[in-house]
Structure 1
Amino acid sequence: MKAGTDLAQIASLVGDPARANMLAALMGGTALTASELAMEAGVTLPTASAHLARLSDGGLLRMTRQGRHRYYALADHQVAAMLESIMGVAAALGPRKVLPGPRDTAMREARICYDHLAGEAGVAMFDAFAGRGLIAIDGDDVNLTDKGAGFFSDFGLDIEAMRGKRRPVCRSCLDWSVRRSHLAGSLGAGMLDRFIALKWARREKNSRVIRFTPPGRAAFEKMLRADEGRTGA
């Protein structure tokens, strides 16, 4: 059956340990070179190049050239969502760490998932926006409400531009660490960009971890609790 064949093909691409490590390294949304991905996978450069060719041919990666270098990134947000879901299954069914380290704690609290906020902070934001009626959830569908459009426009986001894109404005993404949904889509990406622009948070170097500053954390939590008004001017 064709559907089964397609599933098996994608599973075989993701299932190799070296390729899985490469894909996980690209979940931060940053394009990396073959050499950098070889280091992430713990393989030689020729082996990494062979893996990257398979991932590219399979539609999971896109490659761009800049000068003499080739940079690889996840093909799109759908690939990132698939990987996040697989990580959730692995976290639920795989071996459990008895004493997770500080890096694990930071990743659980707030991290980037391709281009949007994930972890406990991302889930809290999704729940708060739904509770305040800024987004409407109907099963697996997430939609921006009129109230939400006004709020996010006041926060500094271009909602009309988001609506003109092929990418969904709102989408839920299953969070592998919290195992509940966080906000993805153009709106999720826009909110994280806005947090960074406002200096509420910054991305930790060479990591998916998002660090909120103390004032930024306070402003973020105030935004989640607020009912009305401008929050990010």
Structure 2
Amino acid sequence: MGLIGMEELADRFVELAALLGDRSRAKILWCLLDGKAYTAGELATVSELSLSGCSNHLRKLLEAKVLKVIPQGRHRYYSLYDGEVAHAMEAFASLVGAPIQLKERRSSTPVTLRKARSCYKHLAGALGVAVFKAFQDKGYVEIVLDEVYVSERGLRFLVAQGICKESEPGLTAKLKLCLDWSERELHLGGWLGIHLLRWLLQEDWLRPSNASRKLTVSAKGKKHFNEVLGIDTDEL
């Protein structure tokens, strides 16, 4: 790399360091280290800023690709841009000896709905988030340029389980993800979310409630979620 290239990188490094060195922005980033997404109002509270002041900081962090924003209904939720940013933030924290602990966020969601519920026609709640993570861990979905698709391994899994047919249209289309409103993490939506919940109900892994959107894990489901996806539903 030539001298000009090195100077450009040095300038960029200085700009980024200055951006992260602001006390209010540091508080925002520290809050987001738990891996969840928060609204501007929530981040304004933890950073002790006005909403307009916090929004200004968020805009700068978005422009620098330190944060990303996910629109969901009437709200916009902010989170760290990716795993590399999170790793960098944790490395900074380790330099000052700060312990990295996941914060337990208090939710206004009724306890009966937090574990598992239907969201439109797909699975939501802690179980929905766990299923999406399991799909990632097992390589059933892959991320290409920030878009999520079913992988070849995932397609074989879906067909083998009877969740969908190999000839079904739309299997190569990008997946729709929803930001779970109680967990503040992503769960599967769109066509895969619809097929998956329908199958989970048909196979009696989950049972619906007549009175609400609550879903209950059956004894069969408890066993198979663990065996097939490595999810211990008792720990959710």
- Contact kept? 2:150, 2:171, Cα under 8 Å: no
* Pairing of 1:15-26 with structure 2 (within 5 A): none
Matched, 1:213 2:222: no
Cα distance in 1 for partners of 2:152, 2:107 equals 45
Asked if structure 1 preserves the Cα contact closer than 8 Å seen for 2:147 and 2:174, the reply is no
Q: Given the two structures, how large is their TM-score scaled by the length of structure 2?
A: 0.50
SS at the partner of 2:216?
strand
Residue aligning to 1:152: 158
Aligned residue pair count: 134
Aligned-partner Cα distance in 1 for 2:134–2:143: 12
Gaps of 5+ in 1: 1-80, 90-96, 227-233
1:105 to 83, 107, 111: 111
Q: Could you report, residue by residue, the CA deviation over 1:186-214 in whole angstroms, capped at 9, with x for unpaired residues?
A: 11111111111011111111311111112
Residue 164 to residue 212, structure 1, CA distance change in 2 (3 Å):
closer
The structure whose RCO (Cα within 8 Å, separation 6+) is larger is 1
- Taking a change above 3 Å as real, the CA distance of residues 181 and 169 of structure 1, as seen in their structure-2 partners, is same
Q: Aligned equivalents of 1:119 and 1:180: distance in 2? A: 9
% identical equivalent positions: 31
2:191 equivalent to 1:186: yes
Q: Partners of 2:119 and 2:107 in 1: how far apart?
A: 24
More helix by share: 1
RMSD in angstroms over aligned alpha carbons?
2.9
Task: Please give the alpha-carbon distance, in whole angstroms, between the structure 2 residues aligned to 1:82 and 1:215.
Answer: 33
The answer (yes or no) to whether the contact 1:140–1:172 under 8 Å persists in 2 is no
Tell whether 2:122 aligns with 1:122: no
CA shift, 1:162, in A, is 4.0
Rounded Cα–Cα distance in structure 1 between residues aligned with 2:210 and 2:149: 33
- Contact 2:107/2:182 (8 A) holds in 1: no
Instruction: State the distance in 2 between where 1:189 and 1:163 align.
Output: 13
Divergent runs of 4+, >4 A: 97-100
Measure the CA separation in 1 of the matches of 2:77 and 2:182.
Answer: 7
Q: Indicate the structure (1 or 2) with the bigger Cα radius of gyration.
A: 2
Question: Which residue identity lines up with residue 191 of structure 1 in the other structure?
Answer: L
